Amino acid sequence: MLGSRIAIVGVGQVGAAAAYAIILGSIATELLLVDDNVSLRDGQVCDLSDVAYSCNSRTRVRAASHHEAGQCDIIVITAGSRHTIGQTNLEYAYRNISIVKTIVDAMTPFKSDAVLLVVSNPVDLLTSLALQLSKLPPSQVLGSGTYLDSMRIRGMLADKIGVAAKSIDLFVLGVQGESQVTAWSAATIGGVPINESLSKEDVINRSDLSNECKHRSQSIVRAKGATPFGIGSVVSSICCAIIQDKGTVHPISHFQPTLGCCFSLPVVLGKKGVTRKVQMPLSFEEDAQITDSATALKAMIDQVNNSN
Ligand SMILES: NC(=O)c1ccc[n+]([C@@H]2O[C@H](COP(=O)([O-])OP(=O)(O)OC[C@H]3O[C@@H](n4cnc5c(N)ncnc54)[C@H](O)[C@@H]3O)[C@@H](O)[C@H]2O)c1
C-alpha cells in the first residue's frame, strides 16, 4: 500500500461507504474524493478524515479535482443520478451515460497503469463505455459487476446449509441485474461439486435462492432508500486485491472480445487489474443465457454509440 492512491469520483451514499471501508482497512496511503457538489465533497472529506484519525488509519483523505483523480492508481466511479419516480430504466441509463462520459473526459489522460473501477449503474454498460472512452487497456478497466451478488448468494446458501460462506464457491455471472446467471453447475462446497457434497436433507430451491439474490437490492432500497454498505465493502475488497497484488479470483465485469462488451466472469486480480481469466465450465443453459444477455447489451452499446 506504500504510496498508493485511490480516487473516488462521486461521494454520495455509495462513494462515502466505499471510502469508509477503504479507510478502515488502511488500503491506500491517500484517498482523493471528487464530487461536482463541492460542499457535499468537502463535508465528506471532514467526516471521513475524522474516521481516519479515530481508527488510526494510515489512509489520509483529501478533496481533489477530476484531473487529479486520473493520476491515481485506482479510480472508482460511483457518480450517478438517483432513479427518480416515473423515470424509465432507459432514461436513467442515458443520464448516467452522460455523467460517466463527462467524468472520463475530465480525467483523461489517465496515468498509464491506472485501474478504473466502475460501480455506477447500469454497471456493465457503463464499464463498456468507460473502456472505449478511457483508451486504457482492457485489463485495466473493470466493473464491480456481479461481485456483490456472488457474495450475497454464498451467504444465503451458507445460512441454509450451515457451512461457512468462505467454504462455498458459487458465482453469479453475466450481465448484472435481471439477466444475471447463478453458475450452479460449477458450484462447490469445500472443493466438492455441490451435487455430491449436499445430502438429501439439504433441501435448497436453487431458482428461489437465485431470484431472492437478484432482487435483494430492491428490497433493501424499499426498506431504507439505498444500498451503500454492501457495495462499499466490495469496492474496498477489489481495491485491496489490486493494491496488494493478491492474485485472488473474483467475478468482475471486464471486456469479453468475442461478444464486444463487458460483463462478469471470474478473473484473477492483481496490480495490473485483470492478470488472467479463469475458465469456468458452465452448463449449456447457463452459457446460452449469458450469451443472450451480452448480445442484448452489445446492441444497446451500439445504439448509444450511434446516437452520438
Ligand atoms: N454496482 C452496484 O452493485 C451498485 C450498488 C449500489 C448503487 N450503485 C450505483 O452507484 C451510483 C451511486 O449511487 P448513490 O446511492 O451513491 O447515489 P448518490 O446520489 O447518493 O451519489 C451520487 C453522487 O455523484 C455525484 N456526481 C454526479 N455527477 C458527477 C460528476 N460529473 N462528477 C463527480 N460527481 C458527480 C453527485 O453529486 C452525488 O454526490 C448509482 O449509479 C447507483 O445505481 C451500484
Domain 147-307 belongs in CATH node 3.90.110.10: yes
State the pLDDT confidence band at 289, using cuts at 50, 70 and 90: very high
Q: Tell whether ligand 1 has an atom less than 6 A from the beta carbon of residue 134.
A: no
Which atom of ligand 1 sits closest to the CA of residue 102? Answer: 31
Is residue 242 within 8 A of residue 262, CB to CB? The reply is no
Q: Where are the beta strands (DSSP E) in 91-193?
A: 115-118, 141-143, 168-169, 172-173, 181-182, 188-189, 192-193
Check whether the bond before 138 is cis (ω within 30° of 0).
no
Per-residue pLDDT tens digits for 133-149: 999 999 999 999 999 99
| Average pLDDT of the segment spanning 196-200 | 86
Q: What is the distance between the alpha carbons of residues 180 and 208, in angstroms, rounded to a whole number?
A: 14
**Nearest alpha carbon, ligand 1 atom 11:** 120
For the record, the C-alpha cell of 252 comes out as 468482475
Q: What is the CATH number of domain 5-143?
A: 3.40.50.720
Q: What is the distance between the alpha carbons of residues 47 and 66, in angstroms, rounded to a whole number?
A: 21
Query: What integer pLDDT is reported at residue 91 of this predicted model?
Result: 85
Q: Number of helices and strands (H, E) in the chain?
A: 11, 14
Q: Which residues contact 18 (CB under 8 A, 6 or more apart)?
A: 8, 76, 78, 119, 231, 232, 235, 236
Q: Tell whether ligand 1 has an atom less than 6 A from the beta carbon of residue 80.
A: yes
Count CB neighbours of 19 within 10 A: 29
Q: Tell whether ligand 1 has an atom less than 6 A from the beta carbon of residue 82.
A: yes
| Ligand 1 pocket, mutate which of 8, 36, 45 (most atoms under 8 A from CB) | 36
Q: Which residues of 99-134 are buried (b: 16+ CB within 10 A; e: fewer)?
A: bbbebbeebeebbeebbbbbbbbbbbbbbbbbbebb
pTM above 0.95, yes or no: yes
| Ligand 1 pocket, mutate which of 11, 33, 119, 220 (most atoms under 8 A from CB) | 119
Is residue 138 within 8 A of residue 191, CB to CB? The reply is no
Per-residue pLDDT tens digits for 73-92: 999 999 998 777 677 888 88
In which element (H, E) is residue 244 found? none
Angle 211-212-215 from CA coordinates, rounded to 5°: 85
For the record, the C-alpha cell of 27 comes out as 488500503
Nearest CA to 57 out of 32, 33, 30, 25 is that of 25
Instruction: Write out the residue limits of the CATH 3.40.50.720 domain(s) in the chain.
Output: 5-143
Q: What is the distance between the alpha carbons of residues 252 and 265, in angstroms, rounded to a whole number?
A: 6
- In this predicted complex, what is the ipTM? 0.98
Instruction: Write out the residue limits of the CATH 3.90.110.10 domain(s) in the chain.
Output: 147-307
Per-residue pLDDT tens digits for 219-275: 998 899 889 999 999 999 999 999 999 999 999 999 999 999 999 999 999 999 999
Q: Is the dihedral of CA 177, 269, 285, 162 positive or negative?
A: negative
